[in-house]
Structure 1
Amino acid sequence: MLPRPPEADRQPLPDLLHRALFKAVSLLPPRSQAVLLRRYFNWWHRSPDPWRLRTDDYEQHKYATTLRLLPARPYHRIIDVGCSEGVFTHMLATRYPDAEVTGVDVSERALDRARARPARERLTFTCADLISYTPPGAFDLVFCAETLYYLGRGERLRLASARLTELVAPGGLLTLVHPWPEAERLYTYISGMTPILHHVEIETHRPFSVTVLQAAPVAR
């Protein structure tokens, strides 16, 4: 068991209320939940970069840590699930210029800003929710960061976890980045994949973990 900072198990009251809200929303049918989440995030994105993902030191440190920990291998198809305005998605496109990179989010407002930034030809953005999203083919690198807690209760997390693993091509990687130790609960339903890396960043005001799992290769 990795060490936890003393305050890690004591979530601030705003975070607890935030989680309770989305747990209640997850009691809705999947389609209704998706509609409500789309409206919620479109409301947040009425102003550019509402969470300061492009400028905040903590967010930039988290991105840099994630990229540093990624296994060095060629990636041909990459997807960033819950990409917001595409700050990290653009970083991936720069880091892997030969890859086809896709950003997916429920907020069309956020994606409009992501598309407005200068980008190379093989970077695209799609408006969809994770549970109903059905792309043409799988990906050899799948990212999901700061997203799963919006899904709420167990059954909806189970569905989201199944969709994430279905997005990963045989032998491909699933990279998850979420607050620690909450990540332990959020990843309960991730199955059928082999953990190859688990890093917890505790020297920060909001500890987070980077977890990389690998799908089984094609049997020969």
Structure 2
Amino acid sequence: MPNLPELAHRTFFRTLSLLSPKGQGVILRRYFDWWHRTPDPWKLSTDGYEQHKYRSTLEHVPARPYRRIVEVGCAEGVFTHALAATYPDAEITGMDVSGRALARARERVPEEGGRVRFVQADLLTHPVERSFELAFCSETLYYLGRHERLQRAAEQLSGLLVPDGVLVAVHPWPEASRLHGYLDAHESLKRLGEEVYTASSRPFAVTVYGAKPS
């Protein structure tokens, strides 16, 4: 169960979601730019828990060729770097609201040759195309707040995928049960599997979805 600071954190973002989607996006962009005033504020590149979560996430990806991959909420590109190494033949796109985070992501994973690129975008308002065979959304949905915004996020995430594409969602447990429920409810997605990791002091769930054929 989230502790008091985490509950206050979640309440703050639910309040933000009372704004228009555009207004919410502006505040989130400023918020994350502020956090990224110093490099790697959440220690994603060095924390053992985060590294374990990345390895566990990749273990659950169905084994098949992927030509186009997107990471929603890529921050400074730590997991993007792992994706580039794991899928050397794929085109990879990292999306984040923070321009400051993306500048560091480009330093970590250079966009040489166009195989990896980074896009400043808000999941709720960015136009999406069904062009990706594999999508990741980790530690992102709880920032979006209330019911309607999470429904919109599920619509946007499903809209990224080609038919039979794969979406991998990773969030803290048990909160993931509620957040991933919006993905479960979307008519274009079907759950392929889930594993909950409870051995850590910060349990998390990895849930895999497939896009239903058109």
Amino acid at match of 2:74: C
Number of the residue aligned with 1:126: 119
Number of the residue aligned with 1:141: 134
The Cα offsets for residues 116-143 of structure 1, whole Å up to 9 and x where unpaired, read as 1243530000001001112454211010
Amino acid at match of 1:18: H
Partners of 1:155 and 1:135 lie apart in 2 by 18
Structure-2 change in CA distance of 1:183 and 1:118 (3 Å): closer
Partners of 1:137 and 1:166 lie apart in 2 by 6
Deviating 4+ runs (over 4 angstroms): none
Q: How far off its partner does 1:46 sit?
A: 0.2
Q: How far off its partner does 1:52 sit?
A: 0.2
Are 1:158 and 2:154 an aligned pair? no
Number of the residue aligned with 1:5: none
Q: How far off its partner does 1:195 sit?
A: 1.1
TM-score for the superposition, normalised by structure 1 = 0.92
The 10-residue stretch of structure 1 (131-140 or 86-95) with the greater mean CA deviation from structure 2: 131-140
Number of the residue aligned with 1:78: 69
Identity of aligned residues (%): 56
The Cα offsets for residues 58-111 of structure 1, whole Å up to 9 and x where unpaired, read as 000000111112111000110000000010011101100111100000000000
SS at match of 1:52: coil
Partners of 2:191 and 2:97 lie apart in 1 by 28
SS at match of 2:193: strand
Structure-2 change in CA distance of 1:202 and 1:80 (3 Å): same
Are 1:179 and 2:172 an aligned pair? yes
Partners of 1:93 and 1:217 lie apart in 2 by 27
Q: How far off its partner does 1:161 sit?
A: 1.0
Number of the residue aligned with 1:13: 4
Partners of 1:51 and 1:83 lie apart in 2 by 13
Structure-2 change in CA distance of 1:148 and 1:18 (3 Å): same
After superposition, the CA RMSD in angstroms is: 1.1
Q: What runs of 5+ residues in structure 1 fail to find an aligned partner? A: 1-9
Amino acid at match of 1:57: G
Within-5 A mapping of 1:1-220: 10-119=1-110, 121=113, 122-135=115-128, 137-190=130-183, 191-192=186-187, 193-218=189-214
Partners of 1:178 and 1:50 lie apart in 2 by 18
User: In proportion to residue count, which structure has more helix?
Assistant: 2
Partners of 2:109 and 2:8 lie apart in 1 by 37
Q: How far off its partner does 1:113 sit?
A: 0.2
CA contact (8 A) 2:130 2:161 kept: no
